[in-house]
Every structure is written in C-alpha cells, then in structure tokens.
C-alpha cells in the first residue's frame, strides 16, 4: 500500500472491530483483545472481467479464495462479493460502478475492493493481427478509465477507509504453450502489449495510493521467465484451479501486508 492512507487502513484488520457496513470501531481492550464472535464480517468486493469471474475454470475463483486466506490469517470473518463480469472492458466497469445500484452499494460498504480489468480493451482481433501499434492507442484510455474507477470507489466509501487492490495480467492474450502455438510474432506482441497494460495498471496504483499485485511475477516468476501453462485452463486464456489459488495467495499477501495483518 502506497500513500498516506496506510496507517488508517492498518486498523481495519489489526485489532479493530468493524461495525455497520464493514466500518471500524476500536475494541475497548486494544489491539490484543479477542474480537467478538458477533463482529460483522469484513468485506472484499471484486470488479473486473472474466479472470476474477472464474470463467472456464469450474472452480472457486480467486476473490472468495482471497477472503478465505485473509480470514484465516487475521482471525476475523471476511466475505467476498464477486461483481466481475466476463468480457468486461475498463469502460464497462466504469459504467457498472456509475450505474448499477447494487454494485455501488457493495463497493460503498467494502473494506477491500479488488479490480482486474484491461485485457479485453486490447483483445486480439483478426483485423489488427500481431501489429502492436494497432492496439497500443487504447492503453491510455484504459489508464484513464481505471483512474476514474479507483476515484469512484473512494467516493462511494463516503470517506471511510477502503483498500483498493489493482491486479495485472500474466498475459493479455493467450499464455504459455497456447501462445507459443500461435507463432513467434504472436508471442512477441502479446508480451509487449502485456507490458503496456501492466505498466498502466501499476501507474494508476502508484498515483492513487492503491495496492498492486504483479500476477505476471506470480505466474511466471520474478524474471517473467517461467512457463505459466500449468496455471491455465484448457482455453489457454483463463486460470485453472491452481491459477486461481496462485492469484489468491498473491493477492492475500498484498492485502495482509498493506493492512498489517499477521
């Protein structure tokens, strides 16, 4: 977590009892007190595309897995609401958070909001093929939309602390051996386009004081050199069960670090 919000957010899970819509009040016994069993659950809300939705996995996707992991570490109940939608672009998520009352209510009461979107904005098309310059003009709009989405999340929180977590991609197109089967030009363009989208996501995280999860490192190692095929479902595009477990672990670690959960 970057920026001045971290000290305030730290109490969300470290020795604080949340009341109302997931908001906080300090327990009388201080940070080492045992939380009341009746304390309301902390809430994680997920926004984005088919990755957090769990498309083509037939498994539990990473948002509820993240909640389970953080709950296990913190000792507090943590719920997950998955408002992601397969096929969504950054513009779709922006429209959703502006116009869907249920989603606005979920976000407004959340302690953590996970956002993963942008790959569909630059999805592979037959007309553009592997021409990188055909896709890159879209990247600034993704960054602009994501910046506005993060701002909307904070507006909906009504001034209460909320941790925004931005996740990037191991590949915005097919990955692993599935990408390799498309040829060297496909692999090269996919890597460069993923660089561009991930850089935009990371830039928004830095500028907005949001947490950031590097899923390319999670799937491909710190040098991005490993083959991520074993984390992909049979469409070569979406995570399988092991992939969602990997994302959940990486995301929970980021949340726990940001909120000083031990």
- pTM of the predicted model as reported, rounded to 2 decimal places: 0.88
Q: Is residue 182 part of a domain?
A: yes
* DSSP code for 138: G
pLDDT the model gives residue 41:
75
Q: Is residue 222 part of a domain?
A: yes
| Residue 205 φ then ψ, to 5° | -60, -45
Buried b / exposed e along 75-107 (16+ C-beta atoms within 10 A): ebebbbbbbbbeebbbbbbbebbeeeeebbebb
pLDDT the model gives residue 33:
41
Distance CA 113, CA 22 (A): 12
Q: Is residue 75 part of a domain?
A: yes
Q: Is residue 1 part of a domain?
A: no
Q: Domain limits at 191?
A: 6-258
pLDDT the model gives residue 261:
86
Each residue's pLDDT, cut to its tens digit, for the chain (262 residues) gives 333 444 444 445 554 433 333 333 323 333 334 444 544 579 999 999 999 999 999 999 999 999 999 999 999 999 999 999 999 999 999 999 999 999 999 999 999 999 999 999 999 999 999 999 999 999 999 999 999 999 999 999 999 999 999 999 999 999 999 999 999 999 999 999 999 999 999 999 999 999 999 999 999 999 999 999 999 999 999 999 999 999 999 999 999 999 998 7
H/E element, 5: none
pLDDT per residue over 142-173, tens digit each? 999 999 999 999 999 999 999 999 999 999 99
pLDDT the model gives residue 243:
98
Q: What is the DSSP string of 44-99?
A: EEEEESHHHHTTTT-S--HHHHHHHHHHHHHSS-EEEEE---TT--HHHHHHHHHH
Provide the CATH number for the domain around residue 227. Answer: 3.40.50.1110
Taking residue 125's Cβ as centre, other Cβ atoms within 10 Å add up to 10
Q: Tokens 């000290």 identify what position? A: 7
The answer to whether the CB of 45 falls within 8 A of the CB of 110 is yes
Give the residue among 176, 86, 165 at the shortest CA–CA distance from 123: 86
Pairing of strands 211-213, 163-167: parallel
Calculate the CA 242 to chain-centre distance. Answer: 17
As for how many domains the chain has, the answer is 1
Q: Is residue 234 part of a domain?
A: yes
Q: Is residue 150 part of a domain?
A: yes
pLDDT the model gives residue 12:
55
Give the residue among 208, 261, 254 at the shortest CA–CA distance from 2: 208
- CA triple 9-262-228, angle to 5 deg: 90
Q: Is residue 177 part of a domain?
A: yes
pLDDT the model gives residue 91:
98
- DSSP H helices, 75-183, are 90-99, 101-108, 139-156, 176-180
């Amino acid at each position: 977590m970057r920026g001045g919000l971290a000290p305030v957010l730290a109490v969300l899970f470290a020795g604080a009892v949340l009341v109302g819509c997931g908001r906080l009040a300090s327990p009388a016994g201080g940070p080492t007190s045992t939380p009341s069993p009746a304390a309301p659950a902390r809430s994680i809300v997920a926004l984005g595309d088919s990755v957090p939705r769990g498309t083509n996995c037939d498994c539990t996707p990473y948002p509820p897995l993240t909640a389970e992991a953080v709950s296990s570490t913190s000792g507090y109940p943590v719920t997950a609401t998955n408002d992601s939608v397969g096929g969504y672009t950054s513009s779709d998520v922006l429209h959703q958070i502006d116009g869907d009352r249920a989603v606005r209510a979920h976000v407004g009461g959340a302690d953590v909001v996970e956002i993963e979107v942008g790959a569909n904005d630059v999805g592979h098309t037959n007309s553009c093929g592997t021409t990188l310059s055909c896709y890159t003009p879209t990247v600034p709009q993704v960054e602009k939309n994501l910046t506005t989405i993060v701002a909307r999340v904070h507006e909906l929180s009504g001034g209460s602390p909320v941790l925004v977590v931005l996740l990037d991609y191991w590949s915005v197109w097919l990955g692993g051996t599935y990408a390799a089967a498309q040829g060297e030009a496909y692999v090269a363009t996919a890597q460069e386009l993923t660089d561009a989208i991930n850089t935009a996501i990371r830039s928004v995280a830095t500028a907005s004081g949001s947490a950031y999860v590097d899923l390319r490192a999670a799937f491909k190692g710190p040098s991005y050199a490993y083959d991520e095929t074993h984390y992909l479902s049979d469409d070569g595009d979406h995570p399988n069960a092991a992939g969602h477990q990997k994302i959940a672990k990486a995301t929970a670690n980021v949340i726990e670090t940001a909120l000083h959960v031990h």
